[in-house]
Structure 1
Amino acid sequence: MAKVLGMGNALVDIITRLDDDVVLRNFGLPKGSMTLVDLDTSNFIQVETGGLLKSKASGGSAANTIHGLAHLGLETGFIGSVGND
C-alpha cells in the first residue's frame, strides 16, 4: 500500500460569523478570502472581536490533503511547523 508524507505549513483557521462587513473593513481584510497574519495581529483581532463566537480548525493545503488521504485508507504522515518552530 502507498505511503504518503506531507510537509507544509501547519495553519490554524479562526472562523467567525459576522452579521456585516464592518469588522472586515476595520481590519482591512478582504471579504471571502484567507489572510495570513502574525501572532500580534491575530491577538489584536481576537481581543477586538471578543464578543463574537469563534471556532478554530487545523488547516493548510498539505495537512488537509494528508487528512483526506488517511480517510481513504492510505498510510500517511505530516510534518509541519507553527510560528518560529
Structure 2
Amino acid sequence: MRSLKAEDSGLDIYLAGGGRLAGQLLDEIDELVIKRYPVVAGAGIPAFGPVFAPTAFSLDGVRSFDGGNLVEWYSRTPDRA
C-alpha cells in the first residue's frame, strides 16, 4: 500500500467496505467517506476489523438526503506530539 501511495500516477486509492482489510491498512487511510442509513439491521461486519486502535479523523463535510441517509467526509487528524 505504501508503494502504491508513493507512485505519482495522479490517481487515488479507494477501498470500499473492507472490515479486516481496512483494519490492516488503517495507518495508510487518509480520508474516510461514511454512508449512514436510518435502519437498524442488527449485527454486521466491524468497519475496521476486530482490533481496537483509536485513530482520530476530523469531519470535513456532511450531505443529507430526503430519506434520512447521510454521507460524511473525514480527513485524518495529524498525530499529536
TM-score (norm 2): 0.26
- Which has the larger helix fraction? 1
Which protein has the larger Cα radius of gyration, Structure 1 or Structure 2? 1
TM-score (norm 1): 0.25
- Which has the larger strand fraction? 1
